[in-house]
Structure 1
Amino acid sequence: MSEESGDIVKVDKASWPRTPVGTIDWEIVFEDPKVGLIPAISVAQKTETLIDCAAVITEILFSRASDEDIRAGYTSSLASLAINNIGESAEVVLALVITFLRDIKDDRIQRAADWVRHKAQRDASGAMADLPTDGTSGAPKKIDPNDPETMFQEVFCDNLDQRFLVLCNGVTQRPMDGRKIPFLVSKEFSLRLQAVVRKEFMPIILPKCRHLIASAEKIPLKIREKNLRHIMADDLTRKELWDVWKYTWRHVMQEVELPKKPKTESAGMLKSLVKAVQAIGENEQTYSMEAWQEDVATARMQQATVREIWQQLTAPSPVFEPPLEEDKLLLMNMFAKTPGGLRDQISALRQIAQQSEQVGRAFDIYAKGKDLQLALIGVSYQHPDLFLTGNVLKNMLRGVSQKAKELDFPLILRYLKGFL
């Protein structure tokens, strides 16, 4: 085509303006009349050029290996936009592409804001750890438990902790037969996780739940907490909070990958498009060495923070075995389970143990389609005389193949292999 995307849009990350707190000013990057990406592509006369420009912008903005899932999602959306609007005028496609790019802009602004809030909260927590004051008297700063935001945080954290309370119920909080108990049935570990959630997670979670907090503020104080718990138990709200929890967990607990060092030539599916953008006059690189070095430094800082947080959770304890790196996904997914669901599973397993003549067969029937690992861990430590020394756990899993045990019950093999 005669109208080249490289003649229209320039993606030079090294020259992007920064906000006073050091994050990229995405509003200017996308909207500035002189240098913004959206005004730049608005001069395109062909639909193909508009799609090409949007594709290049997407590829460059999400160039890190850790961005793969996000990049794939936006690329798929752009492909659908192109396919569904074949034959439309450039004006129609431009409006759709602008909406597409503004979705990316909003995502970038949100991520930057999350990072700033998270950093500010960490800095404040560190500075105030020894003596939180109100700034005048030197006395500890008082927290109003009736404040809607404070109440939301307390209900959210209590909701999370209920899962551990179900698993810890009746478990002796000391080593059993000389062996430390697993972190999943440890009240001490639950408190550790609570502390991390309050300090590291809440600065990200609270802004994403403003509408729930605002709703709670309208409720009379007398029934506010009860109503908030009811709202959080609603299926739609639970799904929403699960999405927020997953996003926050990955943001706080997952190390980003270091960006790849830029090459002299672009590679990949959009090679020709990226080269077109880079071939602007002097043929300068889109991803400069300076920008790469800055991104590497930022990524290493994030990695160090994630490791520091994980070390807080996995510090040695005389009572419990801390989680391993491979347990991160398990901990994240605990939020997807309900305390009531866990309680019902534990009750059912105990009933099978006490009332079934054929424990193994009854377990096989009950276990179909269910994830019972957490419930088995909990009930085994709650009733060790029955499940462990009484061989119920062994009989329940007798018909489960070794491969299936490794897949479905890795924690049972880790902590209770001697009872199988």
Structure 2
Amino acid sequence: MSMSANIQFVLGLNNVDVRRSLASALANDGYSNILVSGTRNKILSYILQYQVDVLVCDTNLDGKDMTSMVYNIRHQEIGCNPFMTVFMISESRDIEVIRRIVNAGVDTVMVTPVVVSNILKIINVLKLDRKDWEVTAQYVGPSRRGKNQPEAEQAPLIRVPNTLKYKFSANPTEAQLLKIIGNSSIEINMQKTTSQVIEIDQVVGQICKASADPSQSQSLVTFAKRLKGTAQNLLHRLGRYSGRDQGLDDTLGKIVATAEQMIAGQAVDYATVLKDLDKALNTGIESLSAQGFRPLNALGSQSAVLPLDEPSTADPAATEQGAEGVNAGSATDLFANLNWLTIKLHFEVLQNPLSQDGTPLPFILSEAFRVRFEALVFKHILPKMAHKCQGFIMRTDEEPEDKQAAYLQNMMEEPKNISFLWAAWESSWDAMTIEQPLPPKPADPKLISKLTKGSTKTAFEEWSDTVRKINASNAAVKSFIAELVQDTGEYLPPQLEYLAVLRGLYARSNKMLQNQISSIHQIADQGGNIGTTYDLYQKGKELDLAFLAVCYHFPDTFQNLEKRIIKTMLAGTPKEERRKTMPLTDHYLSAFL
């Protein structure tokens, strides 16, 4: 098999004849991995599913904008190769349209009519080399700088992977490509972090200057929006670094809050507040920088997962002029809220009609625990889940705002999507609750690593880097679990073995849970041989949550030592089986067994 056959092409073109001609020409040149479509959603699915090397697409595909997709690819919001080569074809020669395409981060812009042979010529050039990349607060992509641009205005250029070239010339393994892409992704993130701090400095300076001039009130709002978007994006980006303290996150949170006050027109001494916050931000970043910007999820030699960003709910600017962002922020929030609603409804069934009389309830029945659990899930689990489900979010964002909720809800309820969402929840939960094992030390610690081209690190140094990253990840797991099981005194806290119960809440049927509670109550109320009736009912069912809830919903019936309802119902379930299949009931209702 030729090396060309390994290169993955995706063609997203409206014109059927051009699609066929280009696909045929590529095939004649020895390329066999060619995916073709005339719809944006299909192209998105290809980007999410495959490690794409070359994307050729129209500016608008089936009437939908493609520059936003390219922007998100470059900013590591979607896909597994932010460094893919991108050709974008425009029907317009308007300078603003071309500028918008360039600012998305494409490699080449072509204007119709397109000559297929010209695309092939450019591909052959890019197989040999490509431009170094420019990374600023708002732009990631091939260098756009002009020959006469002053050096002071130039961002440092970064050499990025050219997977088209690698596959054509060296035929690397998938693990090698992941390693190369991962290391470059870290470098891009570090540079963007630095650029965003610089931008915040500049915007704060503009705000301080404009605040002294009453005629600049409208400019203040514009600056505030830009400040808010950059600070939110930076806060999200810092989430991947170890070594930072809570103070850095708090500082950025206060910057966002101050910007929101400015946008709302509240009377605050913005200049003084922001100067102090900006100083604190730079101090925090300097401290983080001194530690080497150690990433929490960086790709190590033992890892096979790309260190790509999880999507932020912020709306980062799409151009250097501070325009509105292209990320699906509102759709991301909607996705998180609808997925949490699935779990929240289970809590409502379990907790209704319970009332707090001062006696701590089991955690799963406590409103106080639900509130705590909700905060932890929104902070740690749902962002990871949203990252795995970008297809849902991108499609939702294409709908009119007033129809997005219904559209996303319907999509989530489709049978083919239910299992996908459960798998996304499951893996996101596991990432925060299961520690990773450390890799064994290398047999030859002095051997120079050959996995990364040009690496001067020894196998021991790479092993040490990987261990440090895994230890940081494991520390995050320990912190999450500690918060989850903390005894606040408001409820009976969960034990470690009950994490599986919380993990399984997402997959439960709300209606089934309600029916189970009602059925168990009816069995107890009807009298007669309730033990036999319950035995017949419980076969093949998971009743732990329902049984625990009904016993607290109707304590006069179930928690009555004279009636011995609980003991009678569960008498037919062997003790060891009960401990295994009904751990909550066995623990919290042990006094009645």
SS at match of 1:188: helix
2:31 matches 1:31:
no
Query: Which residue of the partner structure matches residue 576 of structure 2?
Result: 403
Partner of 1:380: 551
TM-score where L is the length of structure 1 = 0.65
2-side partners of 1:231 and 1:112: how far apart? 37
Identity over aligned pairs, percent: 24
1:152 equivalenced with 2:328 (yes/no): no
* Aligned counterparts, 1:14-413, within 5 A: 31=163, 33=165, 39-41=169-171, 120-121=238-239, 126-128=250-252, 132-133=256-257, 135=259, 137-138=261-262, 147-176=330-359, 180-264=360-444, 288-389=459-560, 390-413=563-586
Structure 2 CA distance, aligned partners of 1:184 and 1:26? Answer: 42
**Conserved 8 A contact 1:314-1:324:** yes
Cα contact 1:166–1:343 (8 A) shared by 2: yes
Tell me which protein shows more helix as a share of its residues: 1
Alignment deviations for residues 82-138 of structure 1 (CA, whole Å, 9 cap, x no partner): xxxxxxxxxxxxxxxxxxx88x99999999999x99764587864455674263745
Letter in 2 for 1:152: F
Structure 1 residues 228 and 363: alpha-carbon distance in aligned structure 2, compared to 1, 3 A threshold: same
Q: Give 5+ residue unaligned stretches, structure 2.
A: 1-73, 84-159, 190-233, 241-245, 266-312, 316-328
Alignment-derived partner of residue 97 in structure 1: none
Give the structure with the higher percent strand.
Answer: 2
Amino acid at match of 1:394: K
Check 1:279–1:202 CA distance in 2 against 1; reply closer, same or farther (3 A cut).
Answer: closer
Where does the alignment leave 5 or more consecutive residues of structure 1 unmatched?
A: 1-18, 43-53, 62-100, 266-274
Amino acid at match of 1:184: I
Q: Distance in 1 between matches of 2:361 and 2:506?
A: 21
Give the CA deviation at 1:349. 1.1
Name the aligned partner's letter for residue 167 of structure 1. Answer: L
CA contact (8 A) 1:173 1:187 kept: no
Pair member with larger Rg: 2
The secondary structure found in structure 2 opposite 1:135 is helix
- Measured after TM superposition, the shift of residue 39 of structure 1 is 4.7
Instruction: Give the number of equivalent residue pairs.
Output: 325
1:167/1:184 contact within 8 Å kept: yes
Alpha-carbon contact 2:343-2:506 (below 8 Å) kept: yes
**1:170 and 1:157, CA in 2 relative to 1: closer, same or farther beyond 3 A?**
same
Change (3 A) 1:20 1:357: closer
Alignment partners' CA distance in 2, 1:193 and 1:215: 29
Would you say the 8 A contact 2:449–2:459 is kept in 1? no
Judge conservation of contact 1:132–1:139 (CA < 8 Å) in 2.
no
Question: In the alignment, which residue of structure 2 is the partner of 1:415?
Answer: 588
Is contact 1:121-1:199 (8 Å) kept? no
Q: Secondary structure of 1:342's partner?
A: helix
CA contact (8 A) 2:81 2:181 kept: no
Q: Residue type matched to 2:559 in 1? A: L
CA distance in 1, matches of 2:164, 2:396: 38
CA RMSD of superposed structures (Å):
4.4
1:140, 1:415 → 2: CA distance? 49
Aligned AA for 1:135? A
Question: Secondary structure, in 3 states, of the residue corresponding to 2:375?
Answer: helix
Paired with 1:30 and 1:364, the residues of 2 have a C-alpha distance of 64
Are the counterparts in 1 of residues 75 and 82 from structure 2 also a CA contact under 8 Å?
Answer: no
